[in-house]
Structure 1
Amino acid sequence: PFNQQRTKLMLGKSYLVFIYIDERTNRIAASSKLNKFISTNSAYYKRGQQVDLVVWEKTDLGYSTVINNKHWGLVYYADSVKPLSTGQRMTGFIKNVRDDGKIDLALQPVGYANIDPLADKIYKRLEENNGFLALSDKSPPELIAREFGVSKKAFKMSIGNLYKKRLITIAREGITLVKES
């Protein structure tokens, strides 16, 4: 129905819509006005919980998304290693459920859950590159995202983990595997 269009729909374009049964006509209908159907109640989500996401729109802070086809959430630009597009589906993780009920999302596992697999990946890449990677905790976030597809924060936590285990050394120009003696 026209009154359920958020903006004028154009032939050949794709739109994110909510499909429902119209109570008045008992027919299938669709609405691009998702606010009527998506809840802001976030009571049962837990930090680190894996969820299904659909990107709704770009905002000033990041990407507004629909969580599990039921609730609103936000992926901040800083937590997105590449641009997202409307309608894009992906797996995400609950980063934080704020006091006001809003949900912050991450595209990688939250906190230390992301560290061990990433540390393994970094370690393997070091082995493949003769024990040296021209990346460090001082590298630009864009370069880290391009190389490993993760945020700079996750990368720093992982190399910190490797450093604490005395597996690498960290210098401004890059990270180096510690030679076994």
Structure 2
Amino acid sequence: MDLNKIGTIQKLRVTKKTAEGFILTEGNDEILLPNDQLDDEIEEIGQEISVFIYYNREKEIIASAKLPEVSLDSYGWAEVEEVVPHLGAFVNIGLDKAFLVSKDNLPIIKEVWPKAGDYLFVSLEKDKKGRIFAEPISEGEVLEDLEAAPDSLLHESVIGRVYRSTKAGSFVLTGEGYRGFIHPFERKMEPRLGETIEGRVIDIKDDGSINISLRPLKQEVMDEDASQIYDYLVDQNGVMNFTDKSDPNDIRKTFQISKASFKRALGKLMKDDKVEQKNDQTVLKHNE
């Protein structure tokens, strides 16, 4: 079999049936299509079928009639099967083996590496020795096939997957094919490469790409902060040594929010008659 055809989809002729599967040929070359790699029943000897050529786990060249979306010629989403710190991430493209995405193509910060169950947008590549591996899509290739988002999407929610992670921010592709960007200011935590996110469209660019925020609206933020403070009070038996005059650094260290956010949330709890401040402390009203 021509090694240049490994990692590609080829049309081959079925010549005979064996216990292991079917023998396919192209000229004088023969290749096995194992029984577990059949997609549909072979109707007759002599018919031509499309198959994917690759090395299996035993490093044998075989054919699969289960045609993957991902190949040397095409990109697709592949589920992360396993992450090995010194190697990278192995992705499943629908065959009986996983393909490696090298650690060199993953973010420098390992905390944002993908986890099993995430999805990477990849194609297959071949090295000088003919070995096949997976490689994430490049920014240029995304821009070549950009789907422009409509103006009506502004302020709407979108779901997408992170296909690129950089210091500047996270780049996302939605199910509709829109390219999105999440600035570090528009998130509380940096999403993983391959993670599925849901966010709000806050801008639509001239090229049809979108800016996405993972932060809730201001009112939602205040409710979230107020809930955090209330839960903290409950854990502290209804009394805490924090008030609207507390040190900003102490507030941030304990609640991971600014003093301004703390004061707004505390004000909401007081307005809702859930807490009060006295003797340089904040207490739950029902604690009296």
Instruction: Confirm or deny that 1:177 pairs with 2:269.
Output: no
**2:203 alignment partner in structure 1:** 97
| Superposition misfits of 4+ residues, deviation over 6 angstroms | 134-137
The unaligned stretches of length 5 or more in structure 2 are: 1-70, 76-89, 91-98, 102-118, 124-135
Equivalent residues of 1:93, 1:110 under 8 A apart:
no
Instruction: Confirm or deny that 1:61 pairs with 2:149.
Output: no
Equivalent residues of 1:134, 1:175 under 8 A apart:
yes
* Highest RCO, 1 vs 2 (Cα 8 Å, sep ≥ 6): 1
**2:269 alignment partner in structure 1:** 162
Normalized against structure 1, the TM-score is what?
0.60
1:134–1:37: structure 2 CA closer, same or farther, 3 Å change rule?
farther
**1:106 alignment partner in structure 2:** 213
Instruction: Confirm or deny that 1:35 pairs with 2:143.
Output: yes
1:72 deviates by: 1.8
1:152 deviates by: 4.9
**1:12 alignment partner in structure 2:** 100
1:133–1:70: structure 2 CA closer, same or farther, 3 Å change rule?
farther
2:238 to 131, 137, 145: 131
Q: How many residues align?
A: 157
Q: Report the residue type matching 1:161 in the other structure.
A: K
Which deviates the most, 76-85 or 152-161? 152-161
Structure (1 or 2) with the greater strand fraction: 2
1:45 to 142, 153, 166: 153
Percent of matched pairs sharing the same residue: 18
1:17 deviates by: 3.8
1:126 deviates by: 1.5
Equivalent residues of 2:186, 2:214 under 8 A apart:
yes
RMSD value over aligned CA atoms? 4.1
Distance 2:253 2:150 in 1: 32
Alignment of 1:148-159 (within 5 A): 152=258, 155-156=261-262, 157-159=264-266
Q: Report the residue type matching 2:161 in the other structure.
A: V
Distance 1:57 1:66 in 2: 9
Normalized against structure 2, the TM-score is what?
0.41
